[in-house]
Structure 1
């Protein structure tokens, strides 16, 4: 874990690249991640998901926060549109054992840790 974007960028620069035995290797970035910190991103295309893709209830304050963030991003010159990965709308995603056995509990663990304070010894 890191405390700043700069620390995270430095860590990514240090650990990027193939691991032993990797059969698929991502291409290297065009420049070091650390050089991206504070760089002007240009005009971004941003997808907005302000509802649950399979129709479950969403707290009104969450919807309002998503829409508020979208309005701010538009005011900064970015293009915001209602769009999201179609896999999020796939009913079978919720039945995937990997999602239920790993992703959801892990996500909950991080949320609980964030609500309880700093993660660390003591």
Structure 2
């Protein structure tokens, strides 16, 4: 199950963990992403906290976690090869994995249909 935040991050939930990244819409708005700063493994975060930074040829963007938990893994491949976020922002270009500590927060996030309607694509 994938859910989206109104700040254009997504979380793909598998049991008690989630994989987090940016939406295809966000990537298109940013343009070509050239630098990725990932969070630290073990970092405790609350939904809405700034956790990563992306830089594109157009601008820098703060990335927020859509859920509360502990960062369990980062996608080093995304930092090493930022173009993964340009070609596959909702799969190979994910940013980090998180152990969910407040799964009820998922209810406040949007399914793909609502997110698509919000961004108008």
| Coarse TM-score class (shorter-chain normalised) | under 0.3
Q: Report which of the two has the higher share of helix.
A: 1
Higher relative contact order (CA 8 A, sep 6+): 2
Q: Report which of the two has the higher share of strand.
A: 2
Q: Which one has the largest radius of gyration? A: 1
